[in-house]
Amino acid sequence: MKIMIDAGHGGKDPGAVGSGLQEKNLTLKLALSIGRLLQNHGVDVRYTRTDDTFVSLSDRARAANAAKVDYFLSIHINAGGGTGLESFIYTGQSGKTEEIRSAIHQCVAAAFKEAGLPDRGRKQANLAVLRETSMPSALLEYGFIDAPKDAGLLGTDAFIERISAATVQGIANVFGLSIPAAADQVTEWARQARDWAVSSGITDGMRPKDAVTREEVWTMLYRALKR
């Protein structure tokens, strides 16, 4: 399976700006996180950009078409006074395109709901990267950069990790990828502590069910005490 992850904006185009954040940086961080998780499950991941580079909308679509990927996912952060998640497919699309978008949207919306952010719904629009790609595609707006609660979450590694994992789970559900259920899931009673430890730089938050070595204990204690 081959997927292209499109980190919106980049280079001379910062995208939306707010709360001390730039959309181009958040989209790249999120795209690379989603891509890494997909690669861990054997997916051939391609990117429209992997650094702070400007790529035109048509060049993004051309790259996906040339690579003959199975799916194109464009990552964006919203602005304009709202809050929460919304997703887009090209105007008039249905069938497989809608099926995949809905599977991803459902999982990501659940992660947003857990964080207290609303689901703004599944929408259609005449967006260039969706119009010009020849495979099923979707564009997700992962929260609002100018909304304090959204931005506060988007500025943390813990939330980026959570919505990345939710995105991958949606892709896995619709494409039949095998993801070990216990490997990446955190028990609810431990979630707040895990999120704090990740945002504090004490741990990467991965492998929550694995046994811990003495070296890892020493390192986490050292980081906590130095914090």
User: Which whole number is the average pLDDT over 5-17?
Assistant: 98
pLDDT tens digits for range 174-196: 998 876 554 456 665 677 787 78
pLDDT at 203: 82
The pLDDT > 90 percentage for the chain reads 74
Non-local (6+) Cβ contacts of 63 within 8 A are: 4, 46, 48, 55
User: Which whole number is the average pLDDT over 212-225?
Assistant: 86
pLDDT at 186: 66
List Cα–Cα distances, 81 to 84, 115, 147, 149, 154, in angstroms.
10, 18, 7, 12, 16
Domain boundaries, the chain: 2-175, 188-226
pLDDT at 182: 42
Burial environment of residue 150 by CB neighbours within 10 A (0 to 12, 13 to 18, 19 or more): buried
Q: Worst-scoring range by mean pLDDT, 71-85, 133-147, 192-206? A: 192-206
Task: State the Cα–Cα distance between residues 189 and 144, nearest whole angstrom.
Answer: 28
Confirm if 137 and 3 have CB atoms less than 8 A apart: no
- Structure tokens that stand for 16 in this block: 């939306």
9 C-beta neighbours (distance < 10 Å), count: 23
First-to-last alpha carbon distance for the chain, in angstroms, is 42
Out of 3.40.630.40, 3.40.50.300, 3.90.470.20, 3.20.20.70, select the CATH number for domain 2-175.
3.40.630.40
pLDDT at 20: 94
Q: Which of 141, 161, 188, 216 is catalytic?
A: 141
pLDDT tens digits for range 67-88: 999 999 999 999 998 999 999 9
Residue indicated by tokens 């399976």: 1
**H helices of the chain, where?**
23-40, 57-67, 95-114, 128-131, 148-154, 157-175, 188-199, 214-226
pLDDT tens digits for range 85-107: 999 999 999 999 999 999 999 99
Confirm if 12 and 28 have CB atoms less than 8 A apart: no
Told to judge if 161 belongs to the known catalytic residues of this protein, a careful annotator would answer no
pLDDT of 139 above 60 = yes
113 C-beta neighbours (distance < 10 Å), count: 13
pLDDT band per the 50, 70, 90 thresholds, residue 213: confident
Task: State the Cα–Cα distance between residues 5 and 175, nearest whole angstrom.
Answer: 16
Q: Indicate the Cα dihedral angle 170, 172, 178, 180, nearest 10°.
A: -30
